[in-house]
Amino acid sequence: MKIHHIVQIVPTLNPGDAIGDFVMLIHRLAEQWGCTSALYAGQTGQGYAATVHSLARLPAEFEKPTAVFYHHGTGAPAAEVFASTVASRRYVVYHNVTPPKLLETVPALAARSHEGLHQLTMLAQSGARGVAVSQYNAQDLLRAGFHDVEILPLAVGDDRRMELELPSHRRESPLRVLHVGRLLPHKAIDDVISVFALACKSSPKPMNLRIIGSDAESGSHLRTLQNLAEQVAPGCVTFCGKLSDQQLVAEYAQAHAYLCMSRHEGFCVPIVESMFAGIPVVAAANGAIPETVGTSGIVLSDTDPAVFAEALLSVLTEERLRSAVIAAQRRRAENFSQSKLAERIGQLLDSGGTPAREQAPS
């Protein structure tokens, strides 16, 4: 059965969000294939209103050959709406739900995570096929009752890739370290600051840490991080807030290294964008990060900040190591290209949605 219509449902569609960017990339690919493509969202960020339909307008049944994708990353009424739809093929694309215990200091987010994990079981019972953006995420789907799980990694679109790969003119000093992500406790930005501060003490050149991400739901966490930065690295840490796509690309172009200490990640798009931008990655081996990085960047299982600081300084100052890491990361990044995504979605749709079987966790 050839699919003529692709529908995507997402609780919230925001520009600059990893899920939102992935949805829009699939939307563009569907149109390139000659399919009609429709987007439905419970909430829509500024800039997408003309493109996205309200969830209230979602048909209960699709008659012509249609593939409906629901993107799940938090608890939301959209999951219940998707579960009741009738279509030729239905897929739950699982981006990961952050464990509620990591969000205890942000009760509203913790509650949505509780709901999101509960909804996974309901979605499995709806008869939809499971699609995970990483092997790590696939385990949640299997535990929830999905029997077959397809792995569909996130990808960087060609336009974005072209911007990231433009030749950069990084200054020799100060050495700029970058971190991108929402200012939430599980992102471990406090550890990023601590590792950076240790590296500063041994660095032969001045260093600057650029922290980019929204603090909209962080409560008092931003102030806690700012106080820590002033204590351990006064004048060297900049909190940039949420940036536009163009501003973020400019930050990548000036960065010398990317540092991620996150305690939980279902994929981590900024790491992949760093790979395309030629920025060496140093990261903690948590969640799906080892899977995303593969054998390219520096991923450490250690918990000692001094070990991370030493690794960070090494990729900043040892040219042979730095060049080798960048080259390996560029090869790894090809796995997350637009062409690879198109190939994987095409195989999924052409095969009738029958994916390779994943073994249930013991």
Residues 159-335, CATH architecture: 3-Layer(aba) Sandwich (3.40)
Place of tokens 């990317």: 258
| Contacts (Cβ under 8 Å, ≥6 apart) of 309 | 195, 196, 198, 199, 202
Helix or strand (DSSP H, E) at 271: helix 269-277
Whether omega before 174 lies within 30 degrees of 0, making that bond cis, reads yes
Region of 235 (left: φ > 0; alpha: ψ -120 to 50; beta: rest) is left
pLDDT at 352: 62
Q: What is the mean pLDDT, run by run of 10 residues, along the chain of 362 residues?
A: 90 91 96 94 82 92 92 97 94 97 93 97 96 98 94 97 89 93 96 98 96 91 96 98 95 97 97 98 98 96 96 97 98 98 92 43 33
- Start and end residues for every CATH 3.40.50.2000 domain found in the chain: 5-155+337-350, 159-335
pLDDT at 1: 58
Q: What span, in angstroms and rounded, lies between the C-alpha atoms of 20 and 26?
A: 10
Q: Count CB neighbours of 10 within 10 A.
A: 29
Identify the CATH assignment for 5-155+337-350 out of 3.40.50.300, 3.90.1150.10, 3.40.50.2000, 3.40.50.2300.
3.40.50.2000
Give backbone dihedrals phi and psi of 52, rounded to 5 degrees, phi first: -110, 140
pLDDT at 170: 82
Helix or strand (DSSP H, E) at 66: strand 66-72
pLDDT at 165: 96
